[in-house]
């Protein structure tokens, strides 16, 4: 049986930041596990430059931030296991890790951890329409992984459903990768993401159909693949308006209809959850230390409510500091001082038209935990 001081599940920006912060604060034994072949979480496919302030890496590509954080974590002595999935918790906090071997075989490793940080990120929502299981219908994140990580085009002619930032950014990246984006389809009356991203798409002549949805996908392509996509206008109650259908030849449909937290591990551990719409669904209640209702288990990043990379990173730092405090590596006073600085930055990130909603959502989630920061 392996014994670890701190186990962190998920090597996205939240998990990496947590590992770095814990190490910097004197935790000797930090294990970071991720089911992917590369560390960085969503950052490993974000080839575009980030917005925001200099302290939050504005102008730096997500992919470079992920690589720099992994390097820092490894230099600090964080043990990183890739291709390793945390599949469950059992009595007395034993975590079970299944490690992918070079030959494709699997090995189960059981370990004990004094503290655990769950930073398993978010996953895409699915949208159902006639033909939604046809080969060639996929999440926008999957298409983004194909072009930016695996260097493979998901298809030639693509219809994107959703105009939030993910839909807009991935559409543009698909165009940069040589795919033809046939159109974007959006149920809401307006575009969901930043105007600057939408403008780049419109300038390239790609139509964006707001107040529309996908009615049907036909699969008469090779091996039953998508061949045709029919979209339809919808009324304010989201009912299709007959006679407004438009049909396009396409071989791929990408879905960017929002994200939800990955919460399987928190559910397994019986951590108290609360439903929060703006955060994408069921999220673990936690306090200002990012500690859950299960003492010694912390959460950070999209697992606690879908936001963006910088908030994930800062929450990871809070969790790393709190784990260091719990393990006796730093005093409560020192941990409070560091957390106050990080929370000030988090408050700054949760300002403006998009941020304010998240600030309110965060307050609601944390209000469920007794004794939290007001």
Ligand X SMILES: Cc1cc2nc3c(=O)[nH]c(=O)nc-3n(C[C@H](O)[C@H](O)[C@H](O)COP(=O)(O)OP(=O)(O)OC[C@H]3O[C@@H](n4cnc5c(N)ncnc54)[C@H](O)[C@@H]3O)c2cc1C
Contact between 120 and ligand X (CB under 6 A)? yes
Task: Tell me phi and psi for residue 86, to 5 degrees.
Answer: -85, 115
Contact between 15 and ligand X (CB under 6 A)? yes
Contact between 174 and ligand X (CB under 6 A)? no
Count how many Cα atoms sit within 13 Å of the Cα of residue 138 in the half-sphere of its side chain. 17
Q: Residue 138: left if φ>0, alpha if ψ -120 to 50, beta else—which one?
A: beta
Closest to ligand X by CB, 211 or 317? 317
Among 23, 56, 131, 141, binds ligand X (CB under 6 A): 141
Closest to ligand X by CB, 195 or 328? 195
Q: Which residues pair with 31 in a beta bridge?
A: 7, 79
Closest to ligand X by CB, 233 or 298? 298
Chain positions 44 to 63 lying near ligand X, rule: CB under 6 A, are 46
DSSP H helices in the chain: 13-24, 62-75, 140-148, 165-176, 195-203, 264-268, 309-326, 332-349, 352-367
Closest to ligand X by CB, 25 or 120? 120
- For residue 306, the minimal CB distance to ligand X (Å) is 6
- For 68-85, give one letter per residue: b (16+ CB within 10 A) or e: ebbebbeeeebebbbbbb
Closest to ligand X by CB, 100 or 240? 100
- For residue 190, the minimal CB distance to ligand X (Å) is 20
CB of 170 within 8 A of CB of 259?
no
- For 156-166, give one letter per residue: b (16+ CB within 10 A) or e: ebbbbbbbbbb
Whole-number Å distance between alpha carbons of 320 and 290: 9
Contact between 259 and ligand X (CB under 6 A)? yes
- For residue 5, the minimal CB distance to ligand X (Å) is 18
Closest to ligand X by CB, 12 or 219? 12
- For residue 356, the minimal CB distance to ligand X (Å) is 17
CA 262 to chain centre: 8
Site residues for ligand X per CB under 6 A: 9-15, 33-36, 41-43, 46, 85-86, 119-122, 140-141, 144, 165-166, 169, 259, 262, 265, 301-303, 307-309, 312
């Amino acid at each position: 049986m392996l014994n670890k001081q701190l186990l962190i599940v998920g090597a996205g920006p939240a998990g990496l930041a947590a590992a770095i912060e814990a190490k910097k604060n004197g935790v000797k034994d930090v294990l970071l596990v991720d089911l992917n072949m590369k560390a960085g979480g969503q950052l490993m496919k974000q080839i575009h430059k980030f917005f925001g302030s200099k302290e939050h890496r504005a102008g730096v590509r997500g992919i470079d931030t992920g690589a720099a954080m992994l390097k820092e974590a490894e230099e600090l002595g964080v043990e990183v296991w890739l291709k390793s999935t945390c599949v469950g918790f059992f009595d007395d906090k034993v975590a079970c890790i299944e490690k992918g071997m070079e030959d494709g075989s699997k090995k189960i490793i059981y370990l004990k951890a004094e503290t655990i940080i769950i930073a398993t990120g978010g996953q895409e929502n699915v949208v159902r329409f006639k033909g939604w299981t046809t080969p060639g219908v996929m999440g926008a994140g999957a298409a983004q992984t194909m072009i930016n990580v695996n260097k493979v085009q998901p298809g030639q002619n693509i219809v994107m459903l959703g105009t939030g930032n993910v839909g807009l950014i991935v559409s543009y990246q698909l165009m940069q990768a040589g795919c033809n984006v046939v159109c974007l389809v959006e149920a809401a009356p307006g575009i969901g993401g930043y105007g600057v991203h939408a403008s780049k798409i419109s300038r390239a002549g790609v139509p964006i159909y707001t107040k529309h949805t996908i009615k049907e996908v036909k699969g008469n392509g090779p091996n039953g693949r998508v061949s045709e996509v029919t979209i339809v206008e919808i009324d304010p109650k989201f009912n299709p308006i007959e006679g407004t259908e438009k049909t396009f030849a396409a071989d791929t449909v990408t879905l960017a209809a929002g994200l939800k937290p990955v919460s399987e591990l928190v559910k397994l551990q019986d951590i108290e959850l609360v439903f929060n719409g703006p955060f994408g669904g069921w999220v673990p209640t936690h306090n200002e230390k990012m500690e859950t209702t299960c003492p010694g288990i912390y959460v950070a990043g999209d697992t606690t409510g879908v936001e963006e990379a910088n908030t994930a990173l800062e929450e990871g730092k809070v969790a790393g500091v709190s784990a260091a405090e719990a393990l006796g590596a730093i005093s409560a006073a020192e941990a409070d001082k560091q957390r106050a600085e990080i929370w000030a930055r988090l408050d700054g990130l949760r300002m403006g038209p998009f941020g304010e909603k998240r600030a309110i959502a965060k307050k609601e989630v944390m209000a469920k935990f007794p004794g939290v920061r007001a």
